[in-house]
Amino acid sequence: MVRAQTSHPLDPLSAAEISVAVATVRAAGATPEVRDSMRFVEVALVEPAKSVVALADAYFFPPFQPSLLPKAKGGPVIPSKLPPRQARLVVYNKKSNETSVWIVELSEVHAATRGGHHRGKVISSKVVPDVQPPMDAVEYAECEAVVKDFPPFREAMKRRGIEDMDLVMVDAWCAGYHSDADAPSRRLAKPLIFCRTESDCPMENGYARPVEGIHVLVDMQNMVLIEFEDRKLVPLPPADPLRNYTPGETRGGVDRSDVKPLQIIQPEGPSFRVNGNFVQWQKWNFRVGFTPREGLIIYSVAYIDGSRGRRPVAHRLSFVEMVVPYGDPNEPHYRKNAFDAGEDGLGKNAHSLKKGCDCLGYVKYFDAHFTNFNGGVDTIENCVCLHEEDHGLLWKHHDWRTGLAEVRRSRRLTVSFICTVANYEYGFFWHFYQDGKIEAEVKLTGVLSLGALQQGEARKYGTTIAPGLYAPVHQHFFVARMDMAVDCKPGEAFNQVVEVNLKVEEPGKDNVHNNAFYAEEELLRSEMQAMRDCNPLSARHWIIRNTRNVNRTGQLTGYKLVPGSNCLPLAGSEAKFLRRATFLKHNLWVTPYARDEKYPGGEFPNQNPRVGEGLATWVNQNRSLEEADIVLWYVFGMTHIPRLEDWPVMPVERIGFMLMPHGFFNCSPAVDVPPNASDVEIKDNGMAVKPIQNELLAKL
């Protein structure tokens, strides 16, 4: 059969495809002035319909899985090629202050009136009114330069003893939406200012000296200051000898010398196999994707279960938004409520990973390609890391009568990326386990966003961590979007969600010893009913069940979502940031799959004046969930009360949740894991695994 393209329909756009998409849109501009004003905020793959993905996996791409498609009389009718790939572009016009969305077909040659021939064709374009797209790194750099070149700003810094503008750091935070003054009719930024102590020290922690009392508002369209006021002279915090996070000798100390080498080696190679973006490990298989906004995406997750064959678990897993609201009502901290995915882009802020530090062992890296603001293509090498990890005990039992014991060591497959958004680092991880579990984990580290104090002053809403310096209390919220497909082949919509709570039995004849408790299930029948919160007192969790498949005991097969530690916003119901982040009001939302419902705060949360746009609006349809193509939106967060030990750099904090098989298997897959072989050392990750003789390893 003739393939329409060599890329799988879910593969991220290549650098060449991004260039074609940008050139096609630019050539479609009506005038030279319009074309010159185009700024390219995002170029991403248009993910095709699930039926197209199924067709590709069945007949066009290895490992070729015809069982994905339903059988038809006379055999299935297979097209000779797949539909062409498409790109979706978010374009900002710097002259007109308009945002437009374009769809470009990539696979056919079309004549263009300008620019010659392009392997691209504009399918559609539309201007989206009353929005501002995410900010870009180019804009941030231009904003910093404009502020530092503004004479009144330079005078204000002189009053604080700073004349060298090379010491000054300007972080162009999005304006958010607090009143009509923040309306998206203007593209605005309200920068935060910091100041280093040494201009020749590139690794100095400039966030250790926040500049307070200066109000700046920047028109990012025309790149000019439209408001400036030196409201209050707050002295810069003194230079703290503990402020830097560089090696010990650069801070007057020494690094620890009592740590011996710890080696993670796999002399026979890894146990995973990679073909393009398709990954196979143990009984798991899935595809790796990446977008500028979400970063890492896991597609088409399935488990190979003996005679039952390929059993789907999820169609798409990703982190679609994160919000960081601060709890200090004082200027400027009250307006710090960053939407790091929707206002900036988690993927665009990712960085290259280093073997031996970010990831250990035998590592397979995936590069990521993005457009920059001017339409060029940037590549982040080693952006996504795939590797195996030793994970302690998988299971053990010792029989005291015989003295015999069985034990298995656990390993997991980890797919991850790390991004930096201003002062904070976030690591996003998906872990796959040998017993069928999937764990989602976020690791938070980096540098705190700080405020300056007057001499002798303390703040109720933060922690004093150094002389003249405090860290406001704040929260971090993450939204995982999980397009589930538990035991569902493509085209099937046979899932539902059940909430489980543990209940204490009422005293009486059924509980004469007052010790009885039981699990009570409730089917979440509609979207409004499915707005739920965590409750550790009742061990609350949720099961995604297939309504047609049963296990050997006759129970419906399923996967359960087990919450980790969690919280809700510590803010009043009228808090301004909750206008844009209404989805934070509940930990769980459930919707039937809709192709255009991707982002819980809407596609353009930057300066968004519309209350509750996105998830909170979609669920008002109150669609049925009794048997549907289910999408879970799990909101999880942590409340950060900074400690002295979080300075100058915050040790990693972990937060996440688990997807666990629940009646999905007839018995634990962990039983089939081979015991440790005597000729394999623990440093080899603990377990003997048959070497993979595959030419793909040579390409890793």
The catalytic residue positions are 340, 424
Query: What span, in angstroms and rounded, lies between the C-alpha atoms of 318 and 526?
Result: 23
CA 107, distance to chain mean position in Å, is 29
Q: Is 51 exposed, middle or buried (0-12, 13-18, 19+ CB in 10 A)?
A: exposed
Phi and psi at residue 116, to the nearest 5°: 75, -150
Q: Which 3 state secondary structure label does DSSP give 52?
A: helix
Q: Are 542 and 566 in contact (CB under 8 A)?
A: no
Alpha helices of 334-462 — where are they, by DSSP H? Answer: none
Integer Cα distance of 384 and 11 in angstroms: 14
Count of helices and strands (H, E) across the chain: 7, 34
Half-sphere exposure of 543 (CA within 13 A, CB side): 21
Angstrom distance (rounded) from CA 342 to CA 603: 7
Q: What angle do CA 188, 228, 171 make, to 5 degrees?
A: 55
Q: Measured between alpha carbons, how far is residue 411 from residues 152, 432, 434 in Å? A: 59, 9, 7
Beta carbons of 582 and 611 less than 8 angstroms apart: yes
d(CA 60, CA 81): 8
Contacts 24+ apart (CB under 8 A), 665-671: 665/305, 665/436, 665/551, 666/551, 666/552, 668/395, 668/435, 668/436, 669/283, 669/303, 669/305, 669/434, 669/435, 669/436, 670/394, 670/395, 670/408, 670/434, 670/435
Q: Are the C-beta atoms of residues 409 and 313 closer than 8 Å to each other? A: no
